[in-house]
Amino acid sequence: MISLKRNSKGELVDAKGVRSRESSIYLPNQTEDFKISRSKFTDFLLCKKCFYLDRVKGLASPGMPGWSLNETTDILLKKE
C-alpha cells in the first residue's frame, strides 16, 4: 500500500520520506538543547531504533493510509 502525502490545499505532493525542518533533527555536538515532545519521548520508550531513525537520521515514518473511500463518499453525498 502506498502512503500519499497532501499539502495544505489537499493536492497530492511527492512524499520524500525525509524530514525537512532542521530543528526536528538532532545534530551531535550542538550547543542548544534538543527539545522533544511528550509523544516523541513515548516513541523513544517504545522503540529506540525508530526514534533514532526519526530524530537523528531524519527519516519520517510512514503515515496512516488515508480514508479515501470515506472521503469520496462524503464529497459525493455533499454534492447531491
Tens-digit pLDDT profile for residues 42-62: 989 999 998 898 888 888 777
Which residues form the domain of 53? Answer: 35-61
Query: Does residue 43 form part of some domain?
Result: yes
Query: Does residue 46 form part of some domain?
Result: yes
Are the CB atoms for 5 and 63 separated by under 8 Å? yes
The whole-model pTM stands at 0.56
Q: Which three cell numbers stand for residue 49?
A: 531504533
Query: Does residue 18 form part of some domain?
Result: no
Q: How many beta carbons lie within 10 A of that of residue 71, not counting itself?
A: 11
Domains held by the chain: number: 1
Q: What tens digit of pLDDT does each residue of 24-43 get?
A: 788 888 888 888 889 989 98
Q: What percent of the chain has pLDDT over 70?
A: 81
Distance separating alpha carbons of residues 17 and 28, to the nearest angstrom: 22
Are the CB atoms for 50 and 43 separated by under 8 Å? yes
| pLDDT, mean over the chain | 80
Query: Does residue 7 form part of some domain?
Result: no
Query: Pick from 31, 53, 34: which is nearest to 44 by CA?
Result: 53
